[in-house]
Structure 1
Amino acid sequence: MASAPSNDELFDEFLSDRGHEVEAVGWDESYNKKQCPECSGLHDTDATECSVCGWVPNQN
C-alpha cells in the first residue's frame, strides 16, 4: 500500500504545476564555515541545525 504524500510534497507539486521552481534548500558557505540561509549565522562544517534560529536544511 502506498503512503500518502506529505503536506510539503503536495505544496511543492502545487507550486511546480504553476511554473515555480522547487528545490531543496541547504546551507550557504562562507569561507570554511556553513552559513544559515535564514539568519546568516555561521557554524562549523559538521553542523546539522542552526544554533541561532533552529533552521534545519531540507532533507530531500
Structure 2
Amino acid sequence: MATAPNTDGDPFDEFLSARGHETGPTDWEESYNKKQCPECGGVHDADASECSVCGWRPAAQ
C-alpha cells in the first residue's frame, strides 16, 4: 500500500538532516577579514553582498 507524500518539508532536506547534515539557510563562510562563497569558494572583501564569481547571494533574512 502506498502512502501519501510528506508535504511538511523538503524530502531531500529531511534525508540529509536525518544523517547529521545541516540543511538550514546558507550564509557566507568567514576567515580572517574575508568572506568565502559556500557555492564556488570564491573569496571576497568583508563588505561583499554577492559572489562575483558565480552570482550566489545569501538568503534574505
Q: Which has the larger radius of gyration?
A: 2
Report the CA distance between 1:27 and its aligned residue.
0.2
Considering fraction of residues, name the structure with more helix: 1
2:32 aligns to what? 31
TM-score by length of 2: 0.62
Which consecutive aligned stretches of 4+ in structure 1 deviate over 3 angstroms post-superposition? Answer: 15-19
Partners of 1:59 and 1:45 in 2: CA distance: 18
TM-score by length of 1: 0.63
Partners of 1:45 and 1:23 in 2: CA distance: 22
The two structures, once aligned, show a CA RMSD in angstroms of: 2.8
Matches within 5 A, 1:1-60: 13-15=9-11, 18=14, 20=17, 21-60=22-61
Partners of 2:43 and 2:36 in 1: CA distance: 5
Structure 2 residues without counterparts, runs of 5 or longer? 1-6
Question: How many positions carry a matched residue from both structures?
Answer: 50
User: Closer, same or farther in 2 for the Cα pair 1:41/1:12, shift >3 Å?
Assistant: farther
Structure 1 residues without counterparts, runs of 5 or longer? 1-10
Quote the sequence identity (%). 56
